[in-house]
């Protein structure tokens, strides 16, 4: 099992975001978190690599308990790639520099090896010709693909996607989802927060609906999206799918 | 062409003084840049007392005149330790400029979006590596104009060292003007020396800005 979450709870001040969340993610599984805005999907995702602290509960990643001590936390983070809604590429580094930076400076890999691997990754996300460009000259879709390559460069066991297409123009969403789909096909373990229901339907092994501070429903995409069992799930899906 | 001959006649004396001014400026800028970084780091520390200490330093230094600070270090401390005038000047100017530089660094660091920190941390970088590889380069680029401005002030402020007997440009001008009884000429001439240094420095800063600006955000 790659991720094991037990009794996770999080509050911002007096506001409870979620509590009592249990969630397992298995090797090569693609888990898509859906749910209304503010339901805590992103917060839950950010707890998995310690960007947010749980107030209660535990998270184990590949059998290692997530702690907030710098050393162990940084070690776990090397194995957990994260892709952000707003890309967060390093604007002062070239595309190649963005992808190479962590492998060289964090993992301590030889520069030549890291460069070669970075080129391969950029080729994989269809940006081999952009190695020497700077992020500011790229489109949103291209930036997000670089961000995916940057996360993959650390050879993570698990990839977290936090609404990776929400900041993109509609016509650029497809190219990013395509890269993610390819990654899923290769067997990458992924947790994806998204509002793209088509992606959830086609790529997810399991869809998890988070609402009202907890997991309302989970199961295969067909089960959750087509035959939701709870009124809460039906209400959410009606609102989303009728758009 | 009285002015021109004044300028040429006194050039050897002024060039010696210029050299001293440059040394004073260089030392105090380099030390202020380093001390300012430490102070900025303290001001953004998670530890309350460390933050308070750094904030106290900044208000104390910014709240008192440079000339007072130099007098305290050179004349005031003379009863405890004797510091050579030049080094008293270097210390005073560094301590003084560091307070301003620290504030400039701090504003630069705070101008970098949190998403950048999160991206660094999510890749497994320690907070120090995130600072060094991700935050500092972006912050530095943002604050380069303000930093350049502060260094220009630092160059001109070396003239205050004249009052603790350092024979830099301004003190030399005072001496020469008094010897020749022509204050207008020699104070204008010394002004020109400062102007040339400042123009060169600001040209250098502009060049640096252009080079660092190539990734254009």
Chain B touched by A121 (CB under 8 Å): no
3-state SS class at B166: coil
**Chain B residue closest in CA terms to A153:** B123
Q: Does A217 lie in the same domain as A130?
A: no
Q: Which of A79, A90, A104, A133 to mutate against chain B (most B CBs within 10 Å)?
A: A90
What does the pLDDT read at residue B214? 61
Cβ distance of B215 and A75 shorter than 8 Å: no
**What is the enclosing helix (H) or strand (E) of A60?**
strand A56-61
Q: Which residues of A48-86 are buried (b: 16+ CB within 10 A; e: fewer)?
A: bbbbbebeebebbbeeeebeeeeeebbebbbbbbbbbbb
Q: Does A168 lie in the same domain as A74?
A: yes
Which residues of chain B neighbour A101 with C-beta distances below 8 Å? Answer: 123, 133
Calculate the CA dihedral of residues B80, B83, B89, B95 and round it to 10 degrees.
-50
What does the pLDDT read at residue B217? 47
Q: Does A120 lie in the same domain as A19?
A: no
Tokens standing for A227?
A: 């035959």
Of A103, A121, A155, the one marking the end of a domain is: A155
Q: What are phi and psi of A189, to 5 degrees?
A: -80, 125
Please indicate, yes or no, if residue A115 is contained in any of the structural domains: yes
- Average pLDDT (A68-89) is 94
Q: Does A65 lie in the same domain as A184?
A: yes
Please indicate, yes or no, if residue A84 is contained in any of the structural domains: no
What does the pLDDT read at residue A243? 55
List Cβ neighbours of B127 (8 Å cut-off, separation of 6 or more). A70, B121
How far is the C-alpha of A219 from the C-alpha of A203, rounded, in Å?
13
Of A155, A189, A212, the one marking the end of a domain is: A155
Residues A148 and B119 sit within 8 Å (Cβ to Cβ)? no
Residues A118 and A96 sit within 8 Å (Cβ to Cβ)? yes
Please indicate, yes or no, if residue A73 is contained in any of the structural domains: yes
Write a three-state SS string for A115-174: HHHHHHHHHHCCCHHHCCCCHHHCCHHHHHHHHHHHHHCCCCCEEEEECCCCCCCHHHHH
Q: Which of B111, B112, B113, B119 to mutate against chain A (most A CBs within 10 Å)?
A: B119
Name the residue facing A105 among B122, B133, B216 (closest C-beta). Answer: B133
Instruction: Check whether A133 has a pLDDT greater than 70.
Output: yes
Please indicate, yes or no, if residue A108 is contained in any of the structural domains: yes
3-state SS class at B215: helix
Instruction: Check whether A13 has a pLDDT greater than 60.
Output: yes
Cβ distance of A106 and B116 shorter than 8 Å: no
Which residues of chain B neighbour A88 with C-beta distances below 8 Å? Answer: 113, 115-116, 118-119
What does the pLDDT read at residue B215? 63
- Per the structure, the count of domains in chain B is 1
Instruction: Check whether A37 has a pLDDT greater than 80.
Output: yes
**Chain A residue closest in CA terms to B120:** A102
- Per the structure, the count of domains in chain A is 2
Name the residue facing B124 among A74, A86, A90 (closest C-beta). Answer: A74
Pairs across A and B, CB distance < 8 A: 71
Of A155, A175, A194, the one marking the end of a domain is: A155
Q: What are phi and psi of A40, to 5 degrees?
A: 100, 15
How far is the C-alpha of A52 from the C-alpha of A167, rounded, in Å?
21
Which domain range does residue B88 map to? 2-215
Q: Which of A71, A75, A91, A156 to mutate against chain B (most B CBs within 10 Å)?
A: A91
Please indicate, yes or no, if residue A27 is contained in any of the structural domains: yes
Tokens 């690599």, residue located: A49
**Chain A residue closest in CA terms to B116:** A88
- List chain B pLDDT tens, one digit each, 217 residues: 688 888 888 899 999 999 999 999 999 999 999 999 999 999 998 899 999 999 999 999 999 999 999 999 999 998 898 899 999 999 999 999 999 999 999 999 999 999 999 999 999 999 999 999 999 999 999 999 999 999 999 999 999 999 999 999 999 999 999 999 999 999 999 999 999 999 999 999 999 888 887 665 4
Q: Does A165 lie in the same domain as A151?
A: no
Please indicate, yes or no, if residue A175 is contained in any of the structural domains: yes
The average confidence (pLDDT) of chain A is: 94
Q: What are phi and psi of A210, to 5 degrees?
A: -105, 125
Tokens standing for A128?
A: 């081999």
CB interface of A with B, residues 33-72, below 8 Å: 49, 51, 70
What does the pLDDT read at residue A239? 87
Cβ distance of B121 and A106 shorter than 8 Å: no
The CA-atom distances, in angstroms, between B67 and each of B61, B71, B89, B92 are 11, 6, 10, 9
Name the residue facing B125 among A91, A92, A106 (closest C-beta). Answer: A106
Q: Which of B113, B115, B124, B134 to mutate against chain A (most A CBs within 10 Å)?
A: B124
What does the pLDDT read at residue B90? 97
How far is the C-alpha of B57 from the C-alpha of B50, rounded, in Å?
11
**End-to-end Cα separation, chain B, in angstroms:** 52
Chain A nearest CA to B57, separation (Å): 30
Which domain range does residue A42 map to? 3-79+158-241
Please indicate, yes or no, if residue A233 is contained in any of the structural domains: yes
Q: Does A94 lie in the same domain as A27?
A: no
What does the pLDDT read at residue B216? 52
CB interface of A with B, residues 128-147, below 8 Å: 134-136
CATH number at residue A163: 3.40.50.300
CATH number at residue B40: 1.10.3720.10
Q: Does A168 lie in the same domain as A69?
A: yes
Please indicate, yes or no, if residue A85 is contained in any of the structural domains: no
A191-231 pLDDT per residue, tens = 999 999 999 999 999 999 999 999 999 999 999 999 999 99
DSSP string over A76-112: HHHTEEEE-TT----TTS-HHHHHHHHHHHTS---HH
**β-bridge pairing A214-219 and A30-34:** unpaired
CA torsion sign for A92, A96, A102, A105 is negative
What does the pLDDT read at residue A241? 78
- Please determine, for the modelled complex, whether the ipTM score is greater than 0.90: yes
Chain B nearest CA to A211, separation (Å): 25
**Chain A residue closest in CA terms to B216:** A136
Q: Does A150 lie in the same domain as A35?
A: no
**Chain A residue closest in CA terms to B213:** A92
List Cβ neighbours of B209 (8 Å cut-off, separation of 6 or more). B144, B145, B148
How far is the C-alpha of A33 from the C-alpha of A163, rounded, in Å?
10
Q: Does A56 lie in the same domain as A166?
A: yes
């Amino acid at each position: 099992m790659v991720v094991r979450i037990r009794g996770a709870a999080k509050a911002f001040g007096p506001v409870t975001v979620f509590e009592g969340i249990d969630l397992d993610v298995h090797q090569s599984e693609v888990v898509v978190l859906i749910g209304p805005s503010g339901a805590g999907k992103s917060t839950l995702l950010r707890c998995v690599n310690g960007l947010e602290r749980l107030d209660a509960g535990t998270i184990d990643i590949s059998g290692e308990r997530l702690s907030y001590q710098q050393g162990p936390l940084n070690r776990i983070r090397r194995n957990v790639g994260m892709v952000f809604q707003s890309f967060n590429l390093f604007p002062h580094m070239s595309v190649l520099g963005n992808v190479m930076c962590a492998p060289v400076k964090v993992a301590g890999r030889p520069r030549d090896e890291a460069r070669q691997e970075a080129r391969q990754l950029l080729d994989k996300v269809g940006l081999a010709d952009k190695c020497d460009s700077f992020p500011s000259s790229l489109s949103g879709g291209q930036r997000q693909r670089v961000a995916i390559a940057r996360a993959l460069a650390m050879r993570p066991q698990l990839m977290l996607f936090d609404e990776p297409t929400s900041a993109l123009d509609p016509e650029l969403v497809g190219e990013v989802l395509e890269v993610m789909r390819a990654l899923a096909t290769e067997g990458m373990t992924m947790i994806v927060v998204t509002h793209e229901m088509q992606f959830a339907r086609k790529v997810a092994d399991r869809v998890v609906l988070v609402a009202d501070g907890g997991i309302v429903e989970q199961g295969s995409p067909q089960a959750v999206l087509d035959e939701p069992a709870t009124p809460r799930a039906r209400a959410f899906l009606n609102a989303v799918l009728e758009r | 062409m009285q002015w021109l001959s004044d300028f040429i006649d006194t050039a050897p004396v002024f060039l010696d003084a210029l050299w001293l001014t440059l040394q004073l400026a260089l030392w105090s800028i380099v030390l202020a840049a380093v001390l300012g970084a430490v102070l900025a780091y303290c001001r953004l520390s998670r530890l309350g007392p460390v933050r308070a200490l750094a904030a106290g330093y900044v208000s104390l230094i910014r709240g008192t005149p440079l000339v007072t600070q130099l007098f305290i270090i050179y004349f005031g401390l003379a009863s405890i330790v004797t510091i050579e005038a030049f080094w008293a000047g270097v210390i005073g100017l560094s301590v003084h400029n560091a307070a301003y530089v620290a504030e400039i660094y701090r504003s630069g660091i705070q101008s970098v979006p949190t998403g950048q920190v999160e991206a660094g941390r999510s890749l497994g970088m320690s907070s120090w590596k995130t600072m060094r590889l991700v935050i500092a380069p972006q912050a530095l680029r943002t604050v380069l104009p303000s930093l350049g401005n502060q260094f220009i002030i630092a160059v001109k402020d070396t003239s205050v060292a004249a009052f603790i007997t350092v024979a830099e440009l301004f003190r030399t001008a005072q001496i020469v003007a008094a010897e020749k009884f022509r204050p207008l000429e020699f104070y204008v001439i010394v002004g020109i020396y400062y102007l040339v240094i400042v123009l060169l420095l600001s040209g250098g800063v502009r060049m640096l800005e252009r080079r660092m600006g190539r990734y254009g955000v």
